[in-house]
A and B are shown apart, each in its own frame.
Chain A
Amino acid sequence: MIIIANLILRLAFWLLLAPLLPGVINKVKAWVAGRRGPPVLQLYYDLAKLWRKGVVMSELASPGFIIGPAVAWVALLSSALLMPLGPAGSVLSFRGDVLLLIYLLALARFSIAWAAMETGSAFEGMGTAREVSYAVLGETAIITAVLALIVHSGSVSLITMLSPAAGAGVALLAAGLFIVLLAENCRVPFDDPNTHLELTMVHEVMILDHSGPPLAVILHGASIKLLLFTLLLVQVVLPVGEMSPFIATGVLAAGVLVVTVGVGLVESLLARLAFRRVPLLLTAAFLLCLFALLVVWKGRGQ
């Protein structure tokens, strides 16, 4: 009974709170630019609107066009359920769950790319090629970060890996993971979520032909992914798992807010990178995580 209640609460947490983050980022951007900006709840309104709309399908597309977003959403939500939430832990924890998390994220990306290719449009093909080539570098950085955590904690289960926090290499790891967060969630300087220019898009161009509920599912999935990476970053840095539930809630909320505002500030003050420079920044993220791994590994014996 308790497990079911726990599961329902967690689902509610991820489903209901995730769309708040893009709203906060947009508010920060508007504030820096001196505008009033869209309401914080705008994504909720958009999702409600899209859910009521019909679907326009390309004649060339197979059912994969619809199935892709659905699979991606389920994969993202499942990976979210694996993520521990401070002292509350996770619903499902086992040895090696961190690998499942990484593979679920990869599955989500694959499904969106598959759905994009279904349209047979040059734009979608172009966006998919870009997304997948950046993912290769981004995943290297994530896996290195996970290795650092594994070496530090001596465990391959998320709940023990994230508590206590990452120790000596924490600053390096945080910097690396923040860059990965920006890349994985298609934020500036990797991608511009606000652009209307198809030729410069990465993620946006992949979903250009989606409409109605499938688009809503994609957008909602993206917000879950953003919350997932934000929570991962906060818990890597702060020993939230060891705090009392009351304090931990406050610290998690504050941490998520700080990271989100940080994303908004980066987006306000930096121009986007040229595509040929993106691999350099992702490689820098990988190197940061690699040095964190080295610091943890060398410091282990002492």
Chain B
Amino acid sequence: MNTISPFALLPNTTSILWAEIPAWPVAQLVQATAVELGRGARLCAWFAVPEETKACIVALLAYDADNTLAVGRSESLMGAFPALTTIRPQAHMFEREVWEQFGLVPVGHPWLKPVRRMNENAPANGEFFRVTGPEVHEVAVGPIHAGVIEPGHFRFQCAGEEVLHLEIALGYQHRGVEEALIGGPYRGTMSQMETVSGDATIAHATAYATLMETLAGSEAPLHAQWLRAVALELERLANHTGDIGALAGDVAFLPTAAACGKIRGDFLNLTALICGNRFGRGLVRPGGCPHDLETLRAEQLLKRLKDALTDTAQAVGWFWEAASVRSRFENVGTVFPAQAAEIGLVGLAARACGLVRDVRYDHPAGWHRFAQVPVAVWPSGDIFARARVRSLEIQRSGQYLCEQLLAPADGERFSELTPPAPDTLAVSLVEGWRGEVCHVALTDAAGRFRRYKIVDPSFHNWTGVALALRGTAISDFPICNKSFNLSYCGFDL
């Protein structure tokens, strides 16, 4: 199948010269992308690159079954182009973004609205979809929520308790991350990358560092790759445990809620044991990892990890044994597998719909080329499935860490990087705990960033939250939302 793909193929964490990317008239790009998406490819990124007064569109696809990525682009264009969304709905948010950033109008897009553009102090949300009828009422929630969480606006169309439609408006945390990277890398770039989405620090930092190494034509020493893989799984353990605790808290099931909140802290402290920061800031740098994990500390880490894993198994066990908990999660907030594939869900949310979709397995890079984690999948697509995949991944990541910590890769921690290659496009995908973190960099003639595109898994998956709510009781929104636990700032950039 790949041999006849018109796109330029490239594996994960590789680069390609800008001139070697096939360029077509935009209508042909849209057509070719639609055909490839129909043949099992998946849209990783769809973004525009400015070219003087015009812009061109770049499409990055993933052929998961063939373990390869593919890239293609349009010739420069202005004004309008035929929308891909009308054929492949998974492009809908990307096309809204392209329209917002560069004014390229996707003709035929059914719901063309700003994604995160600001209108003075608030996002320019535009009109919300409305359902009318005598029994229908509208509930607006946010952007300020009860509790310390990120801002986002949710507009429900309800008939009594039942939600007919949910529209999600984000953008309240837009910081201009991509804009700030143009002309980079700068001194502050690494720190900015670590805060794209603070709970996925390792994933975003690894994606960026790997990208810089790819652009320099080298890779990090094996020891650093090993340490990054360890830190990535620790991040996954901490967040999955925290989420299971939060799900328990939202249905007022105290035992698991209380225990998991504490154990999440134990996992975070393990990351702090490596680098001194609970969220792993400073752990990953382009060229390697500044921190070592010598035998003594690795042993200590392993011992504390095993204790925390035992505690987690017990706390999660209470959760699954309680019929009152299971009845809250089964057949609630369902995203059907066909829908999941159509809207291009990634990561945990996709695996909870039975889709085998995991970058560590499909597009292995770094240490995952040598040691892989089994993919955890559950078929039902409901809240139960998303909680179940989390608990399976806790087991498997825990097992993986126990193996890896006993067999560390020795050698250098750091290698000096040469300056980035000019006029090159490099791609790096990392399976963060939410799902696929995608970074794409395009350099100019001087080797500076001409365009840097970040796609957080939340960008794909917020549509999944909206779909999960259809036909669900509005009182179940908090557990639906928590079962995805998507990033607001990772989306808003």
Contact = CB atoms under 8 A, between A and B. Distances in A.
Interface of A: 29, 32-35, 122-123, 125-126, 188-189, 192, 194-200, 267-277
Contact of A33 (B147, B161, B258, B322): B258
User: 7 tightest CB-CB pairs across the interface, nearest first?
Assistant: A33-B258, A271-B253, A196-B146, A192-B252, A271-B324, A197-B478, A271-B251
Contacts of B327: 274, 277
B139 A126 contact: yes
A269 B475 contact: no
B345 interface: no
A189 B254 contact: no
Interface in B230-275: 248, 250-255, 257-259
Contacts of A272: 251-253, 324, 328
Given A33-B257, A33-B258, A197-B146, 8 more contacts: A34-B259, A198-B146, A199-B474, A267-B252, A269-B254, A271-B253, A271-B328, A273-B324
28 contacts: A32-B255, A33-B258, A34-B258, A34-B259, A35-B258, A123-B139, A192-B252, A197-B146, A198-B141, A199-B139, A199-B141, A199-B475, A200-B475, A200-B477, A267-B252, A269-B255, A269-B322, A270-B322, A270-B324, A271-B248, A271-B251, A271-B325, A272-B324, A274-B328, A274-B473, A274-B475, A274-B476, A276-B473
Contacts of B146: 196-198
Q: For B327, B475, B477, which residue has the most chain A Cβ atoms within 10 angstroms?
A: B475
B251 to A, nearest CB: 4
Contacts of A32: 254-255
A158 to B, nearest CB: 34
B147 A196 contact: yes
Interface string B137-160: 111110000110000000000000
Contacts of A275: 161, 473, 475
A125 B322 CA distance: 32
Contacts of B328: 271-274
B324 A29 contact: no
A122 B154 CA distance: 13
B250 A197 contact: yes
Contact of B255 (A33, A188, A195, A196): A33
Contact of A122 (B138, B255, B259, B332): B138
A102 B249 CA distance: 34
A108 B251 CA distance: 28
B332 A194 contact: no
Interface in B286-303: none
A192 B251 CA distance: 8
Contacts of A269: 254-255, 322
Contacts of A199: 139, 141, 474-475, 477-478
A188 B161 contact: no
A205 to B, nearest CB: 10
Contact of B254 (A123, A197, A268, A274): A268
A79 to B, nearest CB: 28
A125 B110 CA distance: 33
Contacts of A33: 254-255, 257-259
A115 to B, nearest CB: 20
A100 B477 CA distance: 40
Nearest to B148: A196
A196 B249 CA distance: 10
Contacts of B258: 33-35
B250 A270 contact: no
A54 B258 CA distance: 34
Nearest to A34: B258
Contact of B250 (A29, A126, A189, A195): A195
A132 to B, nearest CB: 13
A275 B141 CA distance: 19
Q: For B324, B328, B478, which residue has the most chain A Cβ atoms within 10 angstroms?
A: B324
A124 to B, nearest CB: 11
Given A35-B258, A275-B161, A189 B324 contact: yes
B250 A267 contact: no
A269 B259 CA distance: 13
Contacts of B477: 199-200
Q: For B253, B257, B325, B474, which residue has the most chain A Cβ atoms within 10 angstroms?
A: B253
Contacts of B254: 29, 32-33, 267-269
Nearest to A204: B146
A123 B328 CA distance: 22
Nearest to A272: B252
B252 A271 contact: yes
Contacts of A267: 252, 254
Nearest to B323: A271
A298 to B, nearest CB: 34
Contacts of A192: 252
Contacts of B324: 189, 270-273
A197 B139 CA distance: 14
Contacts of A125: 137
Nearest to A29: B254
A198 B474 CA distance: 10
A123 B325 CA distance: 25
B315 to A, nearest CB: 11
A164 B140 CA distance: 53
A113 to B, nearest CB: 17
A188 B147 CA distance: 20
Given A271-B328, A274-B328, A200 B250 contact: yes
Q: For A188, A192, A268, A272, which residue has the most chain B Cβ atoms within 10 angstroms?
A: A272
A208 to B, nearest CB: 9
B137 A194 contact: no
A2 B318 CA distance: 56
B166 to A, nearest CB: 11
Nearest to B149: A196
A268 B475 contact: no
A276 B476 CA distance: 11
A122 B474 CA distance: 12
Interface string B355-366: 000000000000
Nearest to A187: B252
Contacts of B252: 188-189, 192, 194-195, 267, 270-272
Q: For A196, A267, A268, A275, which residue has the most chain B Cβ atoms within 10 angstroms?
A: A196
A274 B140 contact: no
B250 A268 contact: no
Contacts of B137: 122, 125
Q: For A32, A188, A192, A200, which residue has the most chain B Cβ atoms within 10 angstroms?
A: A200
A200 B138 CA distance: 16
Contacts of B474: 126, 199
A33 B140 CA distance: 34
Contacts of A268: 254-255
A275 B160 CA distance: 12
Nearest to B138: A122
Interface in B43-78: none
Interface string B151-188: 00000000001000000000000000000000000000
